[in-house]
Amino acid sequence: MTRNLFYQRDVISNNALTREDVEAVLAHTRTCKNNKTGQTLNGRLIASCFFEPSTRTRLSFESAAQRLGAGVTGFSSMESLSLQKGENLQDTIQMISQYADLIVIRHSAEGAARLAAEVADIPVINAGDGANQHPTQALTDIFTIEESQKRLDGLSMALMGDLKYGRAIHSLTEICSLYDIRLYLVAPESLALPELLCNRLKKRGVRFSFHQSIEEVLRQVDVLYLTRTQYERHENPVITRQGGVGILHPDLLKNVRPNLKILHPLPRLDELPRTIDATPHACYFQQAKNGLYVRQALLDMILNESCP
């Protein structure tokens, strides 16, 4: 039997993942998607702690837990919490870790998930910390890319949008750097990928280049990963609203590679027109569905030593 690489492990940042880790998650996700897991989390309790708004991430985590037989406790906003009375995050997390078997946390502060992992006695999964990381979204993305392209090595991928504040993008670049994936970074200068992440890509020998417009690269890529502008994290949203991330006009899809798949973590603003939904290139609803299976795989691997 192969060793379970995720047993009792925190999932905070994809920088810590190896290719072997990612392959293990992809393999167990395939098992979950084929409905081959059963009620492996019977009697377990997952704390779903969302200090920041969420639709897909929270609901897919909670559905994943319940489909595996686990119970779910938690909250989806800060309103009902003692934090409102001045309690700090550490005390809140320490308390929750006495009640549950695993914590899923989303928070607006960068580093909040790492802090939670330091004080909790149970595993912690980062479901998004500010503009920093969103590791489970990127695992969902890479699973969807492999599923739709039948390979990862040798692909060309454009990342378009708010590369500066998009945490899903940050986590995805870290996973891409474990594979032979050529990256085209498409963003206005004000929303470019942070230097720290560019340096990590360089260090790992990833081929990447910067572009201002998607038209420059769209015909050369197998995957287009698009994100919205993260206005809520901008210092001056009025100025960035004028800059924008651009719009993927459906006309641009003429003469693209037939295998081109468009991914988007959602929610979308106007960068991804609804008319694209009916094209064979749209892959974002499949991607959102896969979030359930990836999260099932992770919960199962973290909580069951004998898994997969």
The H or E element that residue 224 is part of is strand 223-226
- 33 is an active site residue: no
Contact indicator for 154, 126 with CB cutoff of 8 Å: no
Q: Which residue minimizes CB distance to ligand NCD? A: 265
- For the segment 1-60, give every residue that binds ligand NCD (CB under 6 A): 56-57
Instruction: Check 33, 107, 134, 261 and give the catalytic one.
Output: 134
- Kindly tell me which of 11 and 97 has the beta carbon lying closer to ligand NCD: 11
- Kindly tell me which of 58 and 67 has the beta carbon lying closer to ligand NCD: 58
Instruction: Check 9, 30, 31, 56 and give the catalytic one.
Output: 56
Minimum gap (Å) between residue 38 Cβ and ligand NCD? 27
Q: Exposed, middle or buried, 209 (CB in 10 Å: 0-12/13-18/19+)?
A: exposed
Of 293, 266, 302, 273, nearest to 146 by C-alpha is 293
Instruction: Check 44, 106, 164, 182 and give the catalytic one.
Output: 106
Q: Give alpha helix (H) positions in 68-204.
A: 89-99, 112-119, 135-149, 167-176, 195-203
- Kindly tell me which of 57 and 144 has the beta carbon lying closer to ligand NCD: 57
Instruction: Check 2, 3, 85, 254 and give the catalytic one.
Output: 85
- Kindly tell me which of 44 and 264 has the beta carbon lying closer to ligand NCD: 264
Q: Residue 273's CB: how many other CB atoms inside 10 A?
A: 12
Minimum gap (Å) between residue 267 Cβ and ligand NCD? 6
Q: Give alpha helix (H) positions in the chain.
A: 19-33, 56-67, 89-99, 112-119, 135-149, 167-176, 195-203, 237-243, 284-303
Give me the active site residues, please: 56-57, 85, 106, 134
Write out the residues near ligand NCD by the rule CB under 6 A. Answer: 56-57, 128, 134, 137, 167-168, 227-228, 230, 265-266
